[in-house]
Structure 1
Amino acid sequence: MPLQQGFDEYFGLPYSNDMGPAEDGVKSSLGEPLPKPRPGQKGQPPLPLMRNNTVIKRVLPDDQQALVELYTKEAVRFIRDNQDRPFFLYLAHNAVHFPIYPGKKWAGRSPHGIYSDWVEEVDWSVGQVLDTLRETGLDRKTLVLLVSDNGGTQRAVNRPLRGFKGSTWEGGIRVPAIAWWPGQIPPGTSTDVIVGMFDVLPTFAYLAGVPLPQDRRLDGINIWPHLTGEADGRPAHETFYYFRGLVLEGVRHGDWKLRVAPNAKGKPELYNLREDIGESRNVAAEHPEIVARLEKLMAEMDQDLGRDGIGPGCRPLGRVANPRPLIDYDGTIRPGFEPK
């Protein structure tokens, strides 16, 4: 739980709400079919809404539609309560992830359907957070990072990128990211260097003046010079690896990307992302020396994270010996998590 991982406050859902409904064929309150249970899964565990380590209630469809507004109010409250001291706020909306639940004030407002309704509600939420920073005078003291967690699904328009979420095409991996800090990050600037979510921790630690732990290897680096334009064109990461689960399907070095994915039947596919961001022209036959160089990088990863499975450089996965739901379907809360 977040309080056991260093957070001082927590409000939200402790696990995913898209793992399959209690019964196959159930529809959301907006009429959309919910995801079917995964193989071997009887259904979705009842979702608890929690504050810190206490279960407040079981989340039902009406509650799902209220989550964006609830999270936004909590974020605004947190900022105001902590405006006189440094703080870190992590606001992770369920929106616009499936199942689609725009708030009741937003459902039906967009001419493009309920997905767009929810996009507009998230836009409102971001505006509330930024307005609060301006009203409290914290806008020039606060770095805001807005980022998606993966490429768009087939509901989205990923053009000119190829592919969608769940693939190692650029459409599955690349995400929009906006960094905002008036007076620190020059407005209207951009960078196409390779950065990732693993760079957030080292960057925030640098800005907070906190030394990084020396007892483990970190994949990320401090990308603050790239956000401010001081990096002078230097790459943040020259090499980037494309994993799908535990399987390494590709590697990028500079502008070149090599894919050796199962659907390619083991044949390497080489793309120049500078010239062909849509990965439409496989030029492996024209550049065998580049294919060989990138294949060597993939082979070396076998001694780190592994190419197909857990490699020697992976830390052990976290396991719970006897996992149990925090709340049952009848509303019974697991002992130790009841309101005091």
Structure 2
Amino acid sequence: MLKLYKTSIIFKVLLSLCAIHGPWSMVYGQKPSIGGRPSVVGGQKQIDTKPNILLIMTDDQGYGDFGFTGNPHVKTPHIDRLAARSTRLMNYHNSPVCAPTRASLLTGRYHQRTGVHDTYNGGAIMAAEEVTLAEILSKSGYRTGIVGKWHLGDNYPFRPSDQGFQYSLIHGGGGVGQPGDFYENFIRTDSSYFNTTLYENDRKVQRQGYCTDVFTDQALEFLKERKSAPFFLYVSYNAPHTPLQLPKKYEDMYKDLAFDTETDRQEGKAWAKMTEKDKADARKVYGMATNIDDNVGRILAELKNQGLEENTIVIFLTDNGNQQLRFNAGFRGLKGSAWEGGTRVPFLISGAGLFEPNKEVNALLAHIDVVPTLLEAAKIPLPASIKADGRSALKTIQGKLAAAPRTFYNSWNRGWPEPYRNAAFYENNLKLVAFNADGDDLNTFGLFDLDKDPFEAHNLVQSEPALAKRLKKGLDSVFNDISNSPNLTPRRIIVGSAHEPLSILTRQDLNGTAMGAWLSDKATGYWHITIARDGYYNLRSIHTSTIAKGTRSLVRVGHVQRSALAKGDSNAVTISGVWLKKGDYLVESWFEGQGGVTGPYYLEMERGNATADR
């Protein structure tokens, strides 16, 4: 039923494309070969040279936030046309939230194995030992770059530059204006998406304009500056993630949207109960989505202008489900949940003569399959040292090999992993969901046949207890395996290294039980660090506003504790010349004043001029 519903939508889109663009050859037409010796595979020209790879991912854009997935309101013509000439993975899954998706997408491994177990609270730092797609491709002669959102560690040795990206222009933490981002962005609560302070190759810069436009501008520069080497460009937009800020032009497009179509009133659908706040948010999200669409169009146009589209694999996807309630094609749940609405996202793949246009693939696929699939497409062997959880789906996507039976595990909860709080285990078309489940009571789980019930409306646990029990054993087995992964331990930021002279410790990576207040100054906790070299260090605690005179600023590094009084004329207090020995520490920073104890926005640690290295 779902497949018929989606197919009818695609068919309508393709008919409209014909009307706009003329014959099918105009939509799917191939340019003359630009290099290498072409061969014909499945009606497509295949290029013998290594393919370029363009991977575009948006943030918190749900399954239903596109014209080609049936949304009656949002305008996404460029992505709709891309969908019409792509192979579309109809049963593709990411993790329920941002950082876990990114870790798995770049490594081919369950995110817990990489050390990433949360979106903040110290859980969004990927182990430096992990080998990323960028590292593999750069060692194979590719030029690699990322623009936009990284969200896998902002300090050495966890930055994009430490993980295989030769060029990077990114924001800090998990989102522009969030507590892991630059202070200059955080304090501009209504305009942080404009004229944003960013990291460019690990250096602080400010770029003028709207963030999505800025990241696209840099992506175009990356393409223009390419040389003869193949490239891997990861365009990781932070939009339409909150805060919902957008240029007036795009906000005006949807300001009068009434949500009064037949789809909006569809009985039994969650979006039929949207509040006025939900509708106001949706209008802004749709404006941000159209801005994204225009920018995707700019990138695709540049590929064409440079004659690169024939030998470039183009992937478009989103990182998880929509955060706010709105149309999502009927899937259950939102971002953060292991229900289909939290993890099933659009995935479009085309180019290099490898993928058939206007084709749907219904095999169960996931982010852990992307690295093996792209490496096979590029004819680069997966390094023997990588123990991938995914497998190449290239031949399945191409229709050369039937989808093999498989299982897939998906989960996320705030903090460290738990087995039954928010997890799912797939066995082909069957799915067991543990959402706040009791491990001793099978009736608290959900069991669904997704072929017959893609919207997870009919729980089969009571009618199929033996089946549910078998899938629970599978879930338990994977959880027990990944929860013992060696990288699933606190990541330590390396302070005092020549690779990062000034280390900024942010609330993004602050650990502790008070992190529910991470947006406020009540957030306090500790960081895990390693002091790389003996020496004198300067410690600077930054507050979100001017610190009242007489407030005591304290910093504790292991057993070394120092404090100083604020003079009342700054939002920072510096404690200079603290001798710290090489080693591992817990670091704390806090303020004591008339308002009680508060935490800093971030703590800067910089190695000064030591009298000697020891």
**Which bracket does the TM-score occupy, shorter chain normalised?**
0.7 to 0.9
User: Is the aligned partner of 1:116 residue 2:260?
Assistant: no
User: Is the aligned partner of 1:252 residue 2:422?
Assistant: no
User: Is the aligned partner of 1:199 residue 2:369?
Assistant: yes
State the partner residue of 1:5: 163
Equivalents in 1 of 2:604, 2:222: separation in Å? Answer: 28
Report the CA distance shift for 1:11/1:335 in structure 2 as closer, same or farther (over 3 A).
Answer: farther
Q: Give percent identity, aligned residues only.
A: 25
State the partner residue of 1:319: 492
Report the CA distance shift for 1:182/1:2 in structure 2 as closer, same or farther (over 3 A).
Answer: closer
State the partner residue of 2:406: 238
2:238 aligned counterpart, secondary structure? coil
Instruction: Return the match for 1:282 from 459, 483, 502.
Output: 459
2:163 partner letter: Q
Report the CA distance shift for 1:25/1:155 in structure 2 as closer, same or farther (over 3 A).
Answer: farther
User: Is the aligned partner of 1:91 residue 2:235?
Assistant: yes
CA contact (8 A) 2:504 2:605 kept: no
Instruction: Return the match for 1:178 from 333, 336, 348.
Output: 348
1:319 partner letter: R
Equivalents in 2 of 1:194, 1:331: separation in Å? Answer: 52
Q: Per-residue displacement from partner, 1:261-317 (whole Å, max 9, x unpaired)?
A: 2167852221111111111111111112211211111222243113xxxx2465545
CA contact (8 A) 1:66 1:104 kept: no
Report the CA distance shift for 1:102/1:26 in structure 2 as closer, same or farther (over 3 A).
Answer: closer
Is 73-82 or 9-18 further displaced after alignment? 9-18
CA contact (8 A) 1:238 1:254 kept: yes
1:78 partner letter: F
Equivalents in 2 of 1:312, 1:302: separation in Å? Answer: 10
CA contact (8 A) 2:325 2:334 kept: no
Equivalents in 1 of 2:251, 2:329: separation in Å? Answer: 26
* Aligned 1:21-60 pairs, distance under 5 A: 27-29=189-191, 48-57=197-206
Name the TM-score, length of structure 1 as normaliser.
0.80
Q: CA deviation at 1:73?
A: 1.0
Equivalents in 2 of 1:251, 1:273: separation in Å? Answer: 12
1:244 partner letter: W
State the partner residue of 1:67: 211
Instruction: Return the match for 2:324 from 132, 154, 167.
Output: 154
CA contact (8 A) 1:271 1:282 kept: yes
* Aligned 1:204-243 pairs, distance under 5 A: 204-232=374-402, 234-235=403-404, 238-243=406-411
Equivalents in 1 of 2:234, 2:191: separation in Å? Answer: 28
1:242 partner letter: N
State the partner residue of 2:247: 103
Report the CA distance shift for 1:319/1:104 in structure 2 as closer, same or farther (over 3 A).
Answer: farther
Equivalents in 2 of 1:137, 1:204: separation in Å? Answer: 21
Q: CA deviation at 1:223?
A: 1.8
1:146 aligned counterpart, secondary structure? strand
Report the CA distance shift for 1:208/1:316 in structure 2 as closer, same or farther (over 3 A).
Answer: farther
Equivalents in 2 of 1:210, 1:226: separation in Å? Answer: 18
1:254 partner letter: N
State the partner residue of 2:178: 19
1:205 aligned counterpart, secondary structure? helix
Q: Per-residue displacement from partner, 1:174-222 (whole Å, max 9, x unpaired)?
A: 1111112163211110112122222222222223333222224111212
1:256 partner letter: L
Is 258-267 or 245-254 further displaced after alignment? 258-267
Equivalents in 1 of 2:479, 2:302: separation in Å? Answer: 47
Q: CA deviation at 1:77?
A: 1.3
Equivalents in 2 of 1:48, 1:26: separation in Å? Answer: 11
Q: Which runs of 5+ in 2 are unaligned?
A: 1-158, 258-282, 496-502, 507-539, 545-569, 573-602, 607-614
CA contact (8 A) 1:238 1:253 kept: yes
1:49 aligned counterpart, secondary structure? strand
1:122 aligned counterpart, secondary structure? helix
Report the CA distance shift for 1:5/1:122 in structure 2 as closer, same or farther (over 3 A).
Answer: same
2:246 partner letter: P
1:160 partner letter: G
Q: Per-residue displacement from partner, 1:48-70 (whole Å, max 9, x unpaired)?
A: 4121121113x8xxx6x611111
Q: CA deviation at 1:154?
A: 2.3
1:281 aligned counterpart, secondary structure? coil
Equivalents in 1 of 2:412, 2:297: separation in Å? Answer: 34
Equivalents in 2 of 1:106, 1:75: separation in Å? Answer: 21
For the aligned residues, what is the CA RMSD? 3.2
* Aligned 1:301-320 pairs, distance under 5 A: 301-306=478-483, 311-312=484-485, 314=487, 316-320=489-493
Q: Which runs of 5+ in 1 are unaligned?
A: 31-46
Report the CA distance shift for 1:321/1:81 in structure 2 as closer, same or farther (over 3 A).
Answer: closer
Which 4+ runs in 1 deviate beyond 3 A?
18-22, 24-27, 263-266, 312-317, 325-336
Report the CA distance shift for 1:226/1:83 in structure 2 as closer, same or farther (over 3 A).
Answer: farther
User: Is the aligned partner of 1:297 residue 2:474?
Assistant: yes
Equivalents in 2 of 1:110, 1:169: separation in Å? Answer: 29
Q: How many residues align?
A: 309
Equivalents in 1 of 2:605, 2:251: separation in Å? Answer: 37
Q: Per-residue displacement from partner, 1:131-180 (whole Å, max 9, x unpaired)?
A: 11111111110001111111112243223210000111111111111112
2:353 partner letter: G
Name the TM-score, length of structure 2 as normaliser.
0.46
1:89 aligned counterpart, secondary structure? strand
Instruction: Tell me which of the two structures has the higher relative contact order, counting C-alpha pairs closer than 8 angstroms and 6 or more residues apart.
Output: 2
Q: Which has the larger radius of gyration?
A: 2
1:324 aligned counterpart, secondary structure? strand
CA contact (8 A) 1:83 1:138 kept: no
Equivalents in 2 of 1:133, 1:252: separation in Å? Answer: 38
1:93 partner letter: Y
Equivalents in 2 of 1:127, 1:331: separation in Å? Answer: 43
Q: CA deviation at 1:321?
A: 5.4
**Which structure: greater strand fraction?**
2
Report the CA distance shift for 1:264/1:101 in structure 2 as closer, same or farther (over 3 A).
Answer: farther
